[in-house]
Amino acid sequence: MAMLDYSGSDCWTPRPAGAPPVAWKEDVDPADAWHALMQGEWTVVEHDVCMGTLVARLVSPQTGRETLRTEDLCVAIGRARGASIKALAFETGRPYGTVADCIAKVMRKLRLRSPAELVVLFHQASAALPCAAHRPEGGSRAYAPRHLSATRVRYGGGDHLVLTYPAPRWSLPPCLSISEERIVLELIAGDSQHAIARRHGTAARTVANQVASIYQKVKVHSRIELFVALRAQ
């Protein structure tokens, strides 16, 4: 398989022009940092999935916290492992719309732009697939992405939390044509079939047929299943 490796640096520096240097930093427990982020103590200001870097700033006491419940993370992990929204609704006993809202909430909170990014972050999370009866003792800590590292830094008079994880690698099977490989990469980037058709000046039906061919070759039935199948271990 052809391997696409987005290798990033394990160091993070403030992006804004003229930003002051980091005045202080220390490594912190990744599970505790993740839990604090889920509890709304930190808000995400930058998330580059290709580099495997998430930066959050400390929330002031006057600012309302946006929390993610353990149930939200359960559903997001199930989705990232290829489960359909319908299957998750059946498994958790929740309405279809509620399950979809949980996934959207997780993606909004963590600034994820596409289902592929959800797969990157949660496909190897340390928790088992969600079910109505499964509630780990560690709460959201048990749902942290694997191989997560966390550092707390201070610059510009503010505290920031920097979480890093392995940059994504995608395996493209040799059975795909060059044009199909291009479409897969555009789907990973979050493009819709209509957007791909407009970009390349072709009919939407043509792209739909190519996507159907990709699904058949990879032996999947949906975009999320495709991302799971192509996610390199």
Yes or no: say if 59 and 42 are a contact pair by the CB < 8 Å rule.
Answer: yes
Per mean pLDDT, which range of 11-15, 37-41, 51-55, 207-211 is the poorest? Answer: 11-15
Residues 175, 142, single domain; the answer is no
Token pair 């490989």 is found at 181
Residues 139, 51, single domain; the answer is yes
Phi-psi region of 18 (alpha: psi -120 to 50; beta: other; left: phi over 0): left
Is the predicted pLDDT of residue 5 greater than 90, yes or no?
A: no
Residues 149, 204, single domain; the answer is no
Those residues whose C-beta lies under 8 Å from the C-beta of residue 76, and which sit 6 or more positions away, are 102, 103, 106, 107, 118, 122
Residues 41, 153, single domain; the answer is yes
The per-residue pLDDT for range 106-137, each reduced to its tens digit, is 999 999 999 999 999 988 775 444 444 455 55
How much is the pLDDT for 9?
41
Residues 87, 162, single domain; the answer is yes
Residues 50, 83, single domain; the answer is yes
Residues 25, 82, single domain; the answer is yes
Q: Which amino acid is at 28?
A: V
Last residue of one domain, picked from the residues 148, 167, 186: 167
Residue scoring higher pLDDT (65 or 12):
65
**Residue 65's pLDDT band (cuts 50, 70, 90):** confident
Is the predicted pLDDT of residue 225 greater than 90, yes or no?
A: yes
How much is the pLDDT for 183?
95
Residue scoring higher pLDDT (5 or 222):
222
Residue 136: alpha-carbon gap to chain centroid = 21
Last residue of one domain, picked from the residues 167, 189, 222: 167
Domain, as residue range, for 105: 21-167
C-alpha distances in Å from residue 42, one per residue of 36, 105, 232: 7, 16, 30
Per mean pLDDT, which range of 27-41, 113-127, 132-146, 168-182 is the poorest? Answer: 132-146
Residue scoring higher pLDDT (157 or 190):
190
Is the predicted pLDDT of residue 203 greater than 90, yes or no?
A: yes
Give the predicted TM-score (pTM) of the model: 0.81
Number of structural domains, the chain?
2
Yes or no: say if 156 and 20 are a contact pair by the CB < 8 Å rule.
Answer: yes
Residues 174, 192, single domain; the answer is yes
HSE, side-chain direction, 13 A CA sphere, residue 21 = 1
Residues 128, 226, single domain; the answer is no
Is the predicted pLDDT of residue 10 greater than 50, yes or no?
A: no
The secondary structure of 200-222 as a DSSP string is: HT--HHHHHHHHHHHHHHHT-SS
Is the predicted pLDDT of residue 160 greater than 50, yes or no?
A: yes
Residues 109, 177, single domain; the answer is no
Among 22-31, 100-109, 145-154, top mean pLDDT goes to 100-109
Last residue of one domain, picked from the residues 152, 167, 182: 167
How much is the pLDDT for 25?
83
